[in-house]
Each structure stands twice: as structure tokens, then as C-alpha cells.
Amino acid sequence: MSFEKYSSALLRYPKFGFSLDSSLMDLDASFLDSMQPKIEKAFADMAALESGAIANPDEGRMVGHYWLRNADLAPNDEIRRQITEPLKALKDFADKVHTGAVSPPAGGIFERILLIGIGGSALGPQLVDQAIGQGARLPIVFFDNTDPEGMDHTLAKIGAKGLTKTLVLVISKSGGTPETRNGMIEAKAAYDAAGLDFGKHAVAITGEGSKLSNFAKEHGFITTFPMEDWVGGRTSVMSTVGLVPAALQGIDIDEFLAGAAAMDAETRKTDASNNAAMRLALSWYSAGNGKGEKDMVVLPYKDSLVLFSKYLQQLVMESLGKELDLDGKVVNQGIAVYGNKGSTDQHAYVQQLRDGVPNFFATFIEVRKGRDGDTIEVEPGNTSADYLQGFLRGTRKALYESGRKSLTISIPEVTPFQLGVLIGLFERAVSFYASLVNINAYHQPGVEAGKAAAGVFLDVLSRVRSRVTGDPKNAEQIAYEVDGDEEDVYHCLNHLHGNGEVQISLGKTPKEDTFSL
Ligand SMILES: O=P(O)(O)OC[C@H]1O[C@](O)(CO)[C@@H](O)[C@@H]1O
């Protein structure tokens, strides 16, 4: 480590107080020279993407999340309208909810939001809430899974009386995601049980003509906001998906969009040496030899950014984790992302980072401002914020001394603008990296295999359910009756037992276990 090296590697955007320190990634001149053709191609791919090329060839779609924060860049008037009109409509809607012009049927005003979604249709709003939702006008709670107990806990927190003043946002781009559908059905059941009209409390955000959009029409939802097919789920936080809840929460969405637009403006420039998104992408490439050989550990030193690691996990892993490259060659690409927050992680897994398997590089996120208002000294001469900074600097140094590389991103404070800056940075870094390694970052074919297998399992389960009788039978016998896979049938039976639907009599091995009513 040397000040000289730090000083020459530091990339700064003083206009908004951002910096990226890649000095501890050791990117040397020969690596950068060797990458030049790929860098030029990545800039060209990006320019094509932003001007409306079909950048997601497998799905035949444009990729437009960069237009969401600068509609002037949209490739045509129709798309421009698809951005500006919903933006205006959602602001009007939020105003009406705040003033009571849109109100619950039982009177009063809406006091909280229940957001039902999963993946990109929940993670962005969760990040926004955690990072910049403190003191929000409307608090927000989530159903982001099909776990019945999780939903029960959330409903219990709201309480039957609370439901009367809860506005439900059901978010699904495809409109057919089972977890989200289940959450909506469970929420509707709770409203029905409380004698309330679910539709009069509900808003949908979904693609036109989707199952969800039809459900919303049938059940008289308050309104529906559109989601366009050129916005991917994991990059939807600046579309209606993220902006409707944020505006309802009273978050300054114009600032949020402006932060991303400011980062876009800097990282659209084709000077690689001063482009933070390209620098990130090159650092990832160098760390993992362009094959994702090193994991990315994300360590924001700020409680409010704790979900940023999880958010990046989806953004990076769903975008870059691909079997085939754009030429159809098997490449099994990806970068594993995990993390939580500093300095908390110091007391969890940093031990392994420092001394264990050297299979990662770290990404520190420094927030310069410790807190608003007065502070105290926790000991003579030092504040809590000093400690946070000390632990960040100390961990970064200790890791480098044991041969572990790291990046450090710094922002002045966590505001809507700065959250936009961070999201804009990583979105573009993902786009660049995808070009560097020649993959489509905008589809997710791998997710379908698990969904299809779950469908087969659920089908077997419904048949197994009707085959359990008073006579004890083992999995093999029932599998024969339902024409199903024996192990699948065994798991179905065990699941039914776990939920009190059938009895089990344990044998020496699962093959010998028997089940009855
Ligand atoms: O918004 P939808 O269509 O419900 O999808 C939710 C999530 O499911 C995925 O399609 C696949 O997991 C994600 O890309 C997406 O964010």
C-alpha cells in the first residue's frame, strides 16, 4: 500500500462527492492494454443498447433501464411516453393518497403499505425503504415469499384493524409469479375475513394483459400501473416497481432518479481511465480472470445499506450467471456475491476472509458522514463514526496485507440521490462486464428449470394427498399408484406429515417408513 499508488488510482466525481479507489486491485498497465479491444467493444455495445438495439437477443427485447432516469434518451416517442406518463401518474396518485383524495372505504387515510412481490419486484423497494425510508410518511411491510408463517407474522403486525388503512401493492412484471400470486391470495383472504373489500385497498404494478392485470380488473383494484417489457425485474427499481412505493412513502424520487442520471452521465463517457463503471467491470475481470473465479464480498459500512449486498446479489448473479455466451458456447459465467455490513461482519466471517480460502475480492462502501446532528465521544478523542471508519480502513489494510484485493467506493451520505448514484454505477458495471465476457446479462433462463420442477412436484403432491388412507403404505406403493418418482413421493408424504395431514411410522430407512391417515 502506498499513498502514491492510491493517489494515482483514485477516480473521483467531485460534483457529487463520489470516489472509487481501485488501488488495491493492482490493475497494471499491461492488463489494461490487453483489455483495450474488449473495452472498446463494451462501450460500443452500451451505446447500441442505450440507443434501442435488441440487447437481450434471446427474448428479442430492448434493455431500457437507463432511459428511466433520462427519458430524453429513449429511442422513440412511444417509449418516452411509457416513462413520463406513468411517472406523472404515480406522483399524482401518491399525492392523492397523502391528501386522502384516494382513501380507504372505511374512511380516514391510508397509513401503511403492504407490498407483495418477489425478486426484482420486492428487493428494490426493500433496499429503498431500508436505505432512505427512515421517517417515511407511510411505513411499508412486505410479503416477498410464499412462506405462510412469514405472511402470518406480517399480517399479525398489521392487525385486522390495521388492514382497513393498509394499501396493498401487488407487483409482478410477468403477472404470473406463483409466490406473488399466493401472497395476493393470502392477503385477499385476510381482507375477506375482516369483512373488507380487497380490491378497494389494492393497486397492481404489472405488464399489460398479464394474469395480475386481469385479476386487478375483475376485483376492482384502485388502479394499475404499467410495467414495460424493456425493463428487467432486477433493474426495475427506477420504474413503476420502485417509484410507486417510494413516492407513496414520501421519498424524493426525483432526487433518486437524478443520482442515477448523474452517474450515467459520467459512466457513459468512453474514457476508460475515468469511468467508474468500467473500472469496476475491469476489476471484476482481473480478479476472476474473466471467469468469475473470485467471489465479490460487499461490505457497506452503514446500517442503512445492509440490503445493498443482497440487492447486488440479484443484480450481479441473475445477470452474469449464465451457461452460454452470446455465441452459444458453454462458459458457465457468473460472479458470486455476498455480504452484509461492516463492521458487524468483522465479528462473523472476516476471520475467513483474512486467513482462509483466498477466493474473493472485497468491495467496501464508505459513507463519509457518520450521523446528522451532534455526536459524542465514546472515549476521549474518538466517536462511534471514527470507529466505523477505523474498522473499514483497518480491515481493508489487513486483507491486502494477506494478499486479498479490494475496491473502496465512497459517498458522502446515504440520500435518495446517492442511492441512485450507487445503483446506476453497478447497473452499468454489470452491463460492461457482460460485454467483456460476451454474455447476455438480461435474461434468466436458469430460473425456469426450478420453476418447472416445482410445478411437477406440486402436481405429484396433489395426487399423493388423495392416496393416503387408514392403511399404512410406503412411498414405493404410493408412487406406483400415482405413477410418480419414489423419492418425490417420499418428500410429498414427509411434507404432509410435517403439516399434520398424515401419520408416519418410521422404519430403519426412508424406504421402510409408512404413512397413513
Ligand atoms: O416481477 P415478476 O415477473 O413477478 O418476477 C419476479 C422475479 O422473478 C424473476 O423473473 C426470476 O427469478 C426475476 O428476474 C424477477 O425479478
Indicate the top mutation candidate among 65, 142, 174 to test ligand 1's pocket, ranked by most ligand atoms within 8 A of CB. Answer: 174
| Spatial distance between the Cα atoms of 490 and 358, rounded to a whole number of angstroms | 40
Alpha-carbon distance of 216 to 188, in angstroms, equals 12
Query: What's the N-to-C CA distance of the chain in angstroms?
Result: 68
Residue 265 near residue 272 (C-beta atoms within 8 A): no
Q: Are the CB atoms for 251 and 136 separated by under 8 Å?
A: yes
Segment holding 493, helix H or strand E = helix 486-498
> Torsion angle, CA of 439/444/448/449, rounded to 10 degrees?
40
> Does ligand 1 have an atom closer than 6 angstroms to the CB of 144?
no
| 363: number of Cβ within 10 Å | 24
Q: Is the CB of 180 under 6 A from ligand 1?
A: yes
110 Cα–ligand 1 center, Å: 28
- 328-384 per-position pLDDT tens digit: 999 999 999 999 999 999 899 999 999 999 999 999 999 999 999 999 999 999 999
Q: From the CA of 224, how far away is ligand 1's center (Å)?
A: 18
The pairing of strands 18-21 and 112-116 is unpaired
Say yes or no to pLDDT of 413 above 90. yes
Q: Ligand 1: does its nearest atom lie under 6 Å from the Cβ of 119?
A: yes
- Which residue in 256, 229, 258 sits closest to 242, CA to CA? 256
- Summarize the confidence of residues 399-426 as an average pLDDT: 98
pLDDT given at position 450 = 86
Considering only 188-192, 306-310, 342-346, 472-476, which range has the smallest mean pLDDT? 342-346
Q: Is the pLDDT of residue 208 over 80?
A: yes
Establish whether residue 233 lines the binding site of ligand 1, counting it when its CB lies within 6 angstroms of any ligand atom. Answer: yes
Active site residues: 318, 347, 451
Atom of ligand 1 nearest to the CA of 118: 6
pLDDT at residue number 451: 86
Q: To which residue does cell 396493498 refer?
A: 168
Strand 166-172, strand 112-116: pairing: parallel
- For residue 201, the CA-to-ligand 1 centroid distance in Å is 24
Closest ligand 1 atom to residue 121 Cα is 1
Instruction: Tell me, using a 6 A CB cutoff, whether residue 177 lines ligand 1.
Output: yes
Distance between CA atoms of residues 359 and 338, nearest Å:
12
CB 166 near ligand 1, within 6 Å: no
Does residue 1 carry a pLDDT above 80?
A: no
Cell 399479525 -> residue: 156
Which of 173, 225, 310 is the best mutation target for the ligand 1 pocket, counting ligand atoms within 8 Å of the beta carbon and taking the most? Answer: 173
Calpha distance 46→52 (Å, rounded): 10
Q: Residue 194's Cα: distance from chain center in Å?
A: 33
Q: Which residue's alpha carbon is nearest to atom 10 within ligand 1?
A: 233
CA distance 409 to 388: 15
Are 241 and 171 in contact by the 8 Å Cβ rule? The answer is yes
Task: Kindly provide the residue ranges of all beta strands, DSSP E only, lying in 421-475, ordered along the sequence.
Answer: 473-474
- C-alpha span between 426 and 417 (Å, rounded): 15
> How far is 493 from 163, CA to CA, in rounded Å?
36
Cell of residue 222, nine digits: 384502485
> For 24-42, how does the pLDDT look when each residue is reduced to its tens digit (9 = 90+)?
999 999 999 999 999 999 9
Q: Of 297, 293, 294, 337, whose CA–CA distance to 313 is shortest?
A: 337
Q: Which of 447, 448, 451 to mutate to test the pocket of ligand 1 (most atoms within 8 A of CB)?
A: 447
Amino acid at 12: R
Distance in angstroms (rounded) separating the CA atoms of residues 10 and 127: 27
pTM of the complete model? 0.96
44-83 pLDDT, tens per residue? Answer: 999 999 999 999 999 999 999 999 999 999 999 999 999 9
Tell which one of 59, 121, 142 to mutate to probe ligand 1, the residue whose CB is within 8 A of the most ligand atoms. 121
Which SS3 state, helix, strand or coil, does residue 55 take?
Answer: coil
pLDDT band at 452 (very low <50, low <70, confident <90, very high): confident
| 11 strand-pairing partners | 20
Distance (angstroms) between ligand 1 centre and the Cα of 233 equals 6
pLDDT of 92 above 90: yes
Ligand 1 contact, 181 CB (< 6 A) = no
Ligand 1 contacts CB of residue 227 (under 6 A): no
Pick the residue whose CA is nearest to atom 11 on ligand 1: 447
The proportion of the chain whose per-residue pLDDT surpasses 70, expressed as a percent, equals 100
* C-alpha 119 to ligand 1 mean position (Å): 5
Checking DSSP bridges between strand 503-505 and strand 140-143, what pairing results, if any?
unpaired
At residue 515 the predicted structure's pLDDT band, cuts being 50, 70 and 90, is: very high
Q: Ligand 1: which residue has its CA nearest to atom 8?
A: 119
User: Which ligand 1 atom is nearest residue 123's CA?
Assistant: 16
Question: Using an 8 Å Cβ cutoff, are 504 and 514 in contact?
Answer: yes
All cell numbers assigned to 252 = 424524493
3-state SS record for 289-358:
CCCCCCEEEEEECCHHHCCHHHHHHHHHHHHHCCCECCCCCECCCCCCEEECCCCHHHHCCHHHHHHCCC
Ligand 1 pocket residue status of 444, Cβ below 6 Å: yes
Ligand 1 and 234: CB distance under 6 A: yes
> CA 445, CA 440: separation in Å to the nearest integer?
11
Q: Residue written as cell 432516469?
A: 69
pLDDT digits (tens, 9 = 90+) for 471-493: 999 999 999 999 999 999 999 99
pLDDT at 6: 96
CA of 184 to the centre of ligand 1 (A): 15
Q: Ligand 1: does its nearest atom lie under 6 Å from the Cβ of 82?
A: no
- Ligand 1 atom closest to the Cα of residue 120 is 16
